[in-house]
Amino acid sequence: MVVAQGMMMSANNAALIAVCVLGAIVAWDAYWLTRQRQDIPILGELQNGGFAWTSEGPQEVIRQWGNLASMAAMMALPWALIGASDTSYWYAIIWDLLLSLHLISLLIPKRFAVTRTHLFADGQRYDWKRLRLQRRQPARRIMLLRKGWGIFGPLPLGGSQNDLTVARSRIEKALSVSADWDISATKKSEEE
């Protein structure tokens, strides 16, 4: 029994690992968000029929409401466990600070782009072969699903209703195997 107790990790060491993992996730997400202006330097109509748009803070709240609720629960959870596990409260403070930074990053307006081959969202580039439109679409955003991720793969896109209407039509064209991407853009580039 003494050997088994000696092999258990202390609560503070477990908290340190959890805080380090969360810090790495927050830093990783922040890095990708800084890339969105490089990947999408212009907004509006793109060459060859693509389209780029941006969201605003309130639209990000609508887009991220599920993540925001999860973050609130994750911020409260450590405080309930500190007394029972005899963990230093500093880990809970650092945890909440990191989650607060992540919350802020969720609410920052984002840039999105639809091209013939990829979707650009949240600083990432997604091949259309890895995505599909959710059958029932929410009213004020576009919901894509990442193939193979199950319930953990929603990819919501935010923006104004006009931008979302244009983006959805381009997304449907990109996802459709038989659809011609943009005949007018192709003809225009051939004439020039």
pLDDT in tens, 103-153: 888 888 889 999 988 999 888 889 999 998 888 888 788 989 998 887 778
Cβ atoms of residues 111 and 44 within 8 Å: no
- Output phi, psi for 113, to 5 deg: -150, 145
Of residues 139 and 15, more confidence is placed in 15
Beta strands in 104-159 (DSSP E): 111-114, 118-121, 124-127, 131-133, 142-146, 154-157
Position 139, amino acid: A
Cβ atoms of residues 158 and 168 within 8 Å: no
Total residue length of the chain: 192
Cβ atoms of residues 117 and 127 within 8 Å: yes
- pLDDT (0 to 100) of residue 77: 84
- Output phi, psi for 23, to 5 deg: -60, -40
Query: Would you say the pTM of this structure is higher than 0.85?
Result: no
**Cα 84 from chain centroid (whole Å):** 34
Between the two ends of the chain, the Cα-to-Cα distance in Å is 81
pLDDT band at residue 177 using 50, 70 and 90 as cut-offs: low
Cβ atoms of residues 52 and 43 within 8 Å: yes
Domain ranges of the chain: 11-191
Other C-beta atoms within 10 Å of 142: how many?
A: 24
Residue (of 52, 53, 51) closest to 182 by Cα position: 51
